[in-house]
């Protein structure tokens, strides 16, 4: 494995002022005497060769240098630099970048088809690995991120199996899913000298062919949960009403009348529409 190392280069401004006298010397030889033209030409050729060693490094960029196919180092210092002219230099951006995957269709661990997409924030941290360990590190990010996303989506269910379940699901545990996705993508991209800073699910939905059925299931689950809360509260209110009536001696009800009262109260409290009261003008019995 090729690991990044510091390459040889010096300040470009110092190198320029070092080459400038040689250029002046070449012109001087040419002006003073035609017999010195070969020496003047030699100085000019040396200056032209040295001129090929100048290069610039922008902020958050690196220059990967090779010599006849061998890696000789990376230069990250900004500004005008000079190195051996025979070094080949390739630019690698170290800036943080975003990758947004396309919406892909995959089955969750229950076999339900879902659509999912992600946003990955990444950057190059080892320029040598990024250049020489993979053919194209940008394409590598795209393919490996989508592969990790598919693997993650097939490992978890879209929804938890029940409300009390502690199992991690794609929709109910976004933070844990993001951390799992980041770890899996980092494990893949780390081989290419890339670092994943953040990974989030940007799109999550059931596939169109089952979206309608799953929506009905979610609505039914929500209705059942709401009804359970309503019944639980209604039973408590009925118990409280019977206890208050009995403790204050307002009315003495037999078991049959208690059952009728409980039935009426539950209908009023649990009904989804307002009850219509009926006034009894006769006796209780």
Kindly state whether residues 193 and 113 are assigned to the same domain: yes
Q: What pLDDT is attached to residue 166?
A: 66
Kindly state whether residues 188 and 102 are assigned to the same domain: yes
Read off the pTM: 0.69
* Range 24-53 average pLDDT: 64
44's CB contacts (< 8 A; 6+ apart) are: 23, 26
- What residues make up the domain containing 25? 10-90
255's CB contacts (< 8 A; 6+ apart) are: none
The reply to whether 261 falls in a domain is: yes
Cα 135–chain centre separation: 23
Q: What pLDDT is attached to residue 73?
A: 93
pLDDT in tens, 156-176: 888 876 665 567 888 888 899
C-beta of residue 132 within 8 angstroms of C-beta of residue 2 = yes
DSSP character string of 123-167: EES-HHHHHHTSS-HHHHHHHHHHHHHHHHHTTSBSS-SSTT--S
What confidence tier does 136 reach under pLDDT thresholds 50, 70, 90? very high
What confidence tier does 125 reach under pLDDT thresholds 50, 70, 90? very high
The reply to whether 49 falls in a domain is: yes
Share of the chain above pLDDT 70, in %: 70
- Dihedral sign, CA of 17, 18, 19, 21? positive
The reply to whether 241 falls in a domain is: yes
Strand intervals (E) in 165-253: 194-206
Residue 4, phi-psi category: left (phi > 0), alpha (psi -120 to 50), beta (remainder): beta
C-beta of residue 39 within 8 angstroms of C-beta of residue 61 = no
Final residue of a structural domain among 36, 60, 90: 90
The reply to whether 285 falls in a domain is: no
Q: What pLDDT is attached to residue 50?
A: 83
Q: Is the pLDDT of residue 104 over 60?
A: yes
The reply to whether 276 falls in a domain is: no
Q: Looking at per-residue confidence, does 279 or 104 come out higher?
A: 104
| Closest listed residue to residue 92, CA positions, set 145, 132, 144 | 132
């Amino acid at each position: 494995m090729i690991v990044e190392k510091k390459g040889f280069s010096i300040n470009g401004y110092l190198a320029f002022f070092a080459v400038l006298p040689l250029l002046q010397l070449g012109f001087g030889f040419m002006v003073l005497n035609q017999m010195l033209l070969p020496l003047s030409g030699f100085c000019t050729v040396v200056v032209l060769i040295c001129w090929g060693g100048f290069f610039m490094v922008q902020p958050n960029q690196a220059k990967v240098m090779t010599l006849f196919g061998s890696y000789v180092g990376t230069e990250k210092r900004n500004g005008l630099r000079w190195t051996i002219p025979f070094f080949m230099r390739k630019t690698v951006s170290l800036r943080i970048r975003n990758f947004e995957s396309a919406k892909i269709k995959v089955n969750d661990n229950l076999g339900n088809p879902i659509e999912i997409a992600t946003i990955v924030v990444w950057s190059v941290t080892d320029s040598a690995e990024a250049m020489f360990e993979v053919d194209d590190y940008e394409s590598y990010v795209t393919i490996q991120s989508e592969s990790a996303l598919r693997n993650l989506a097939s490992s978890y269910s879209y929804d938890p199996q029940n409300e009390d379940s502690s199992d991690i699901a794609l929709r109910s545990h976004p933070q844990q899913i993001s951390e799992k996705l980041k770890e899996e993508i980092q494990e893949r991209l780390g081989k290419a000298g890339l670092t994943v800073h953040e990974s989030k699910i940007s799109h999550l939905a059931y596939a169109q062919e089952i979206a309608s059925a799953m929506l009905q299931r979610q609505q039914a689950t929500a209705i059942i949960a709401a009804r359970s809360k309503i019944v639980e509260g209604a039973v408590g209110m009925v118990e409280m009403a019977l206890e208050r009536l009995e403790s204050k001696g307002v009315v003495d009800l037999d078991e049959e009348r208690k059952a009728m009262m409980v039935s009426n109260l539950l209908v009023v409290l649990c009904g989804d529409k307002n009850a219509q009261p009926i006034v009894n003008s006769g006796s209780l019995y």
